[in-house]
């Protein structure tokens, strides 16, 4: 193995750049795919991002998760094809071109030409592809960019057509309406994303309108409230909340009788005797709270209204009322009645909502559910594309709806139906291009009947495995349970066109399922499926020439339909790769962010269930959101986050990968990104790991320098037979690491691996290497040295293979050097198989060493508390525990390590806890409180009253029953309170415990230990001097000493009595300063 640099001189980013070049030189990714081509397939679906922007931490996070899992599955014996995908169609691309060409409305696109517009869109789709490839590659992710898939590819689009055609064959497609944010300025619907882009504070009218109850003996009227008077001409229903209490009240001055929610009675206008004939607007100066959604809850004068009757909202359902206008009387049999829904709230208005199904999402849904309207194309939308009333609304025909508000209010007042009017100031969405206020308007759309397959969707969801599972069981399950039919068409230009051709009389419909079908029916050769290349294609009617031709509907697919079709379309199924797809569907793995529960995860599930009756994927990891350190969304304008490139250049991609994987974001929680967190990964993970590796290399090189011959590791079978206790322990701990990582990775729990690795590395460096220095440096003989070095080599090599999916660069660096002494090693660590457990794990020795670490920590705490540094020898330590096997290990094979590390002369073990401590039981209130509820007080009292014998019995059995409640070890904390022996003070003897083991130290000074303490200090200073001048552990030097004390004989006496200890510790004898050459370094 080659020499390696000191940790402070090792550049993690620099070495990663070197490894990238190495991978490129050997074509590592291609070679890996070739080596595994005959192995079972592991199918991974990569959700396609838009390439119109650069990748951010969210992309890097998701990409890291995908890379870790696919690398692991490759090492586990699978062939994993990894093709990058691009979402090429839709809004982000069109917005880019609109800005470039100055497009403000639909007509502008037609003026430019759909062909030019779409080709402009095509040209920008791949603008940042090179930057994406550079950044993604730099993060260590192996994925195929050369053989990527694009949703604008002809083959992809053809498969999307096939998916839609299959749904149509299954009668899961229909044409209907969807209420969407609509820009009257652009004459086009907007997505919710666009609609939320531009809110402005505006003042709108708010009015209360009376709707007389048909057949009511008191001539009572329902009172509904609205801030959109222009929707009143299209009113078809009133909606109440079944759970609210409603009241019928009489105004004492006007005599008018109204029905409102009891909780909203105060919203009705207060009238004095002077106003008793008034039915117009109240004082305009009494306006609503600008922050409220509507009519405020100011207190009305109780004397204004007399309550005549109270009844439930449910009892009102079905009651008819007199329409406000007569424009829709043809719907009178089904309309103009009361319905109920929980979307009606009592935080504003009257508790009664007027419903115009063509102009409100909830209005449409509620009217549809209550058969006021029917699914399909029969909905009358009385507002045209310009936002003006159609001829259906005779009194206001041709008027822009917002301009007609005042006249509509006046008309309502003239009818005697205006109860109250005013205005409210609120935040309202505007078109981000035309700056006109948006309206909600029903637009024709093609739908997939999701509600028809809802039960199948829920069943499909049960067949999937999610991390974390609560996202599946709650968020996603609830979304599926409330799934509605999906509007899959968009009135846009750059997208996959709907493959629907319709005759002029709408009697003949043909849905294309392939390019071949279109070519045969039209006689036209197809080379591209975008609108400008197929919109002109017509199909002769099968009924004869007199019926004309069929033309394609102008809509394109929602880009979510395209991405949901990805499992089939990226393979060009069913036109190619039929066997590959059908043998491996559902896919094995997907991973994206939490927002995709309503996006890609949902569309994948809907289409696969509708097509094949099964989910699209088997396993899913859902990540959370990466925010800036201040808790805000990462923003370029705010500059509140470091660029990914800078972080990688400073600390390396591996550190960034581990930082992200070890955060709450992998459990679908939020991560506040901190650059310092990435540095901590370098400091706490990579530097200790590197130093252990460097220690191996240095001492392997030392064997050559000493003339013992080059180092080659002993085979693993021989290592398993080592009699050294720390060899046995670290070998077992390594097998436990392999077992744990396999177990967690098979369960897709990536976030548990890094904490375990940290613990393992701490054990490796601070126990195995630290306690084995003599053996590793050859001071216990050449054979023992080679055994220890071989064990360290084996542990490092195994841990590198285990961690290769997580830290592909660093593990490759170590592997490339270590493989030089390993015959038959493959060219890259990423060609290796994932380690398997070999030999039986020693659970007893692992537990004993873990407890030994606890003893060391507790003893150090006692020393620190009393100002006794480790260089000060202590005469005795007592370890108290109930486990005889552990005490035997501590007093036997682990004793020398414990005494040397803690600088204690003797060790005493004891099982008799009551001799040294009193026991106290305390209940775990946080855990038990939730479980026991009201019984917690009684149980807590019983726990606290437990006797010493009760506590000992509980510790032995591991459980206790109190009033039918079974308590386990985690439910009760046993506190050991040290009993200071008679005649001693805490300054002379003290203890520390962790609820499991009790450590007691004799702190009294002992002159007999003075010389050992001085010798330890001498060794400490020599080691610091070696480090100061940059010596390597393998460097052999001469060490000279000179006493600065007046009485030099004291130091000489100490050095003589401790000569063997010092020589062994520093590797050479101490020489008098009189022999020191002039060029020696002194301190």
Positions marked catalytic: 48, 87, 560, 596, 600, 633, 636
What are the beta bridge partners of residue 503? 550
Residue 696 in 3-state DSSP? Answer: helix
User: Which residues lie closer than 8 Å to 1030 by C-beta, 6 or more apart?
Assistant: 6
**Which DSSP category does 615 fall into?**
-
Q: If residue 783 lies in a helix (H) or strand (E), which one and from where to where?
A: helix 782-803
Question: 203 with 424: CB under 8 angstroms?
Answer: yes
DSSP string, 129-161: HHHHHHHHHHTT---EEEEEEETTSHHHHHHHH
First to last CA, the chain: 34
Query: What is the four-CA torsion angle of 413, 418, 420, 426, rounded to 10 degrees?
Result: -80
Asked if omega into 586 is within 30° of 0 (cis), the reply is yes
What are the beta bridge partners of residue 221? 212, 258
Question: 472 with 596: CB under 8 angstroms?
Answer: no
User: Which residues lie closer than 8 Å to 169 by C-beta, 6 or more apart?
Assistant: none
Query: Which tokens is 28 given?
Result: 């590592």
Measured between alpha carbons, how far is 175 from 481 in angstroms, rounded to an integer? 23
Measured between alpha carbons, how far is 98 from 17 in angstroms, rounded to an integer? 40
Measured between alpha carbons, how far is 701 from 695 in angstroms, rounded to an integer? 10
Measured between alpha carbons, how far is 986 from 970 in angstroms, rounded to an integer? 31
Question: 146 with 83: CB under 8 angstroms?
Answer: no
> Which is it for the CA torsion 727, 733, 736, 741, positive or negative?
negative
What is the maximum span of the chain, computed from C-alpha positions, in angstroms?
Answer: 126
Question: H-type helices in 448-530, by residue range?
Answer: 454-462, 469-470, 477-481, 515-522
Place of tokens 């509980």: 954
Instruction: Compute φ and ψ for 541, nearest 5 degrees.
Output: -65, 140
Asked if omega into 574 is within 30° of 0 (cis), the reply is yes
> Computed over its alpha carbons, how large is the radius of gyration of the chain?
39
- Tell me which residue of 951, 766, 735, 919 sits closest to 843, measured CA to CA: 735
Q: Which residues of 510-543 are buried (b: 16+ CB within 10 A; e: fewer)?
A: bbbbbbebbeebbeeebeebbbbbbbebebebee
Residue 530 in 3-state DSSP? Answer: coil
How far is CA 682 from each of CA 49, 138, 482, 648, 806, rounded to the nearest angstrom? 30, 17, 46, 12, 14
Place of tokens 């100066």: 285
- Neighbour order of strands in the sheet with 465-467: 465-467, 617-623, 587-593
Measured between alpha carbons, how far is 209 from 352 in angstroms, rounded to an integer? 10
Measured between alpha carbons, how far is 75 from 803 in angstroms, rounded to an integer? 11
What are the beta bridge partners of residue 990? 1001
DSSP string, 917-973: EEEEEEE-HHHHHHHHGGGHHHHHHHHHT--HHHHHHHHHHSEEEETTEEEEGGGEE
Measured between alpha carbons, how far is 851 from 885 in angstroms, rounded to an integer? 12
Instruction: Compute φ and ψ for 244, nearest 5 degrees.
Output: -85, 155
Measured between alpha carbons, how far is 162 from 616 in angstroms, rounded to an integer? 17
């Amino acid at each position: 193995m080659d020499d390696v640099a000191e940790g402070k001189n090792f550049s993690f980013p620099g070495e990663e750049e070197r490894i990238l070049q190495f991978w490129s030189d050997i074509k590592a990714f291609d070679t890996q795919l070739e080596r595994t081509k005959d192995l079972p397939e592991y199918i991974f679906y990569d959700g396609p991002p838009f390439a119109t922007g650069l990748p951010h931490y969210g992309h890097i996070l998701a990409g890291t998760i995908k890379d870790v899992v696919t690398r692991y599955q490759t090492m586990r014996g699978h062939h994993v094809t990894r093709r990058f995908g691009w979402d090429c169609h839709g809004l982000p691309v069109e917005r880019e071109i609109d800005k470039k060409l100055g497009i403000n409305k639909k007509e502008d696109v037609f003026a430019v030409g759909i062909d030019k517009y779409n080709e402009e869109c095509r040209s920008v789709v791949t603008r940042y592809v090179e930057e994406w490839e550079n950044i993604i590659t730099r993060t260590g992710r192996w994925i195929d960019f050369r053989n990527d898939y694009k949703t604008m590819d002809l083959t992809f689009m053809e498969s999307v057509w096939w998916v839609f055609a299959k749904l149509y064959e299954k009668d899961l497609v229909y044409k209907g309406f969807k209420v969407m944010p609509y820009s009257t300025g652009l004459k086009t619907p907007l997505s919710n994303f666009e609609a939320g882009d531009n809110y402005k504070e505006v003042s709108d009218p708010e009015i209360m309108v009376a709707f007389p109850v048909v057949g009511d003996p008191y001539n009572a009227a329902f009172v509904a409230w609205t801030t959109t008077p222009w929707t009143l001409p299209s009113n078809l229903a009133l909606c109440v909340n079944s759970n609210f209490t409603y009241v019928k009240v009489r105004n004492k001055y006007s005599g008018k009788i109204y029905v409102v929610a009891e909780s909203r009675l105060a919203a009705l206008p207060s009238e004095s005797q002077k106003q008793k004939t008034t039915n117009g607007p109240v004082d305009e100066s009494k306006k609503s709270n600008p922050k409220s959604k509507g009519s405020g809850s100011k207190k009305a004068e109780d004397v204004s209204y007399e309550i005549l009757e109270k009844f439930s909202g449910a009892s009102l359902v079905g009651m008819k009322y007199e329409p406000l206008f007569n424009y829709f009387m043809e719907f009178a049999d089904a309309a103009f009645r009361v319905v109920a829904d929980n979307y009606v709230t009592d935080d504003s208005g009257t508790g009664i909502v007027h419903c115009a199904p063509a102009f409100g999402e909830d209005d449409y849904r509620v009217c549809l559910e209550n058969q006021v309207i029917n699914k399909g194309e029969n909905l009358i939308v009385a507002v045209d594309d310009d936002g003006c009333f159609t001829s259906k609304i005779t009194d206001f025909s041709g008027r822009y709806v917002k301009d007609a508000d005042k006249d509509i209010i006046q008309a309502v007042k003239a009818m005697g139906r205006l109860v109250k009017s005013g205005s409210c100031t609120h935040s309202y969405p505007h078109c981000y291009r035309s700056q006109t206020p948006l309206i909600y308007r029903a637009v024709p759309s093609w739908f997939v009947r999701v509600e028809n397959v809802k039960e199948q969707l829920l069943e499909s969801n049960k067949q999937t495995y999610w991390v974390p599972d609560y996202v599946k069981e709650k968020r996603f399950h609830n979304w599926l349970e409330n799934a509605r039919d999906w509007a899959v068409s968009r009135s846009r230009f750059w997208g996959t066109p709907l493959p629907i051709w319709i005759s002029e009389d709408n009697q003949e419909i043909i849905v294309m399922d392939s390019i071949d079908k279109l070519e045969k029916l039209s006689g036209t050769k197809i080379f591209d499926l975008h609108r400008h290349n197929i919109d002109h294609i017509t199909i002769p009617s099968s009924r004869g020439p007199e019926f004309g031709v069929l033309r394609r509907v102008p809509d394109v697919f929602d880009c979510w339909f395209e991405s949901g079709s990805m499992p089939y379309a990226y393979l060009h199924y069913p036109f190619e790769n039929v066997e590959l797809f059908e043998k491996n569907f559902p896919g094995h793995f997907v991973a994206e962010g939490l927002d995709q529960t309503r996006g890609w995860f949902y569309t994948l599930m809907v289409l696969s269930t509708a097509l094949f009756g099964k989910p699209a994927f088997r396993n899913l990891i859902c990540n959370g959101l990466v925010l800036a350190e201040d808790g805000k969304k990462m923003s370029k304008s705010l500059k509140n986050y470091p660029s990914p490139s800078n972080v990688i250049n400073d600390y390396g991609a591996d550190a960034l990968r581990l930082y992200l994987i070890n955060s709450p974001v992998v459990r679908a929680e939020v991560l506040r990104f901190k650059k310092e967190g990435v540095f901590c990964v370098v400091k706490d993970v990579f530097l200790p790991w590197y130093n252990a590796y460097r220690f191996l290399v240095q001492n392997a090189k030392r064997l050559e320098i000493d003339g013992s011959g080059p180092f080659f590791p002993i085979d693993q079978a021989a290592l398993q037979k080592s009699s050294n206790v720390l060899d046995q322990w670290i070998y077992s701990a390594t097998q436990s690491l392999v077992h744990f990582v396999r177990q967690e990775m098979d369960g897709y729990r990536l976030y548990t691996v890094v904490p375990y690795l940290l613990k393992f590395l701490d054990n490796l460096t601070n126990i195995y290497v630290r306690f084995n220095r003599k053996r590793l440096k050859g001071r216990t003989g050449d054979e023992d040295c080679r055994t220890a070095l071989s064990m360290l080599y084996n542990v490092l090599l195994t841990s590198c293979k285990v961690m290769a999916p997580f830290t592909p660069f660093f593990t490759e660096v170590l592997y490339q050097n270590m493989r030089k002494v390993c015959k038959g090693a493959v060219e890259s660590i990423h060609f290796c198989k994932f380690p398997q457990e070999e030999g039986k794990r020693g659970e007893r020795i692992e537990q004993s060493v873990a407890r030994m670490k606890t003893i060391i920590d507790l003893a150090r705490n006692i020393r620190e508390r009393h100002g006794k540094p480790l260089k000060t020898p202590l005469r005795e330590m007592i370890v108290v525990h109930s486990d005889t096997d552990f005490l035997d290990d501590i007093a036997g094979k682990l004793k020398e390590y414990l005494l040397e590390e803690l600088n204690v002369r003797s060790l005493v073990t004891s099982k008799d806890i009551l001799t040294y401590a009193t026991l106290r039981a305390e209940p775990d209130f946080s855990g038990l409180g939730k479980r026991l509820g009201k019984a917690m007080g009684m149980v807590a009292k019983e726990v606290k009253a437990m006797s010493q014998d009760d506590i000992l019995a509980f510790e032995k059995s591991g459980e206790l029953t109190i009033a039918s409640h079974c308590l386990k070890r985690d439910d009760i904390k046993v506190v050991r309170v040290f009993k200071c022996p008679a005649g001693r003070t805490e300054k002379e003897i003290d203890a520390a415990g962790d609820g499991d083991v009790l450590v007691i130290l004799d702190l009294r000074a002992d002159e007999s230990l003075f010389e050992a303490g001085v010798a330890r200090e001498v060794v400490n200073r020599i080691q610091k001097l070696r480090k100061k001048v940059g010596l390597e552990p393998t460097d052999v030097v001469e060490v000279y000493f000179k006493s600065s004390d007046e009485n030099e004989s004291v130091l000489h006496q100490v050095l003589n009595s401790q000569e063997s200890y010092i020589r062994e510790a520093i590797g050479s004898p101490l020489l008098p300063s009189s022999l020191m050459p002039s060029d020696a370094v002194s301190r």
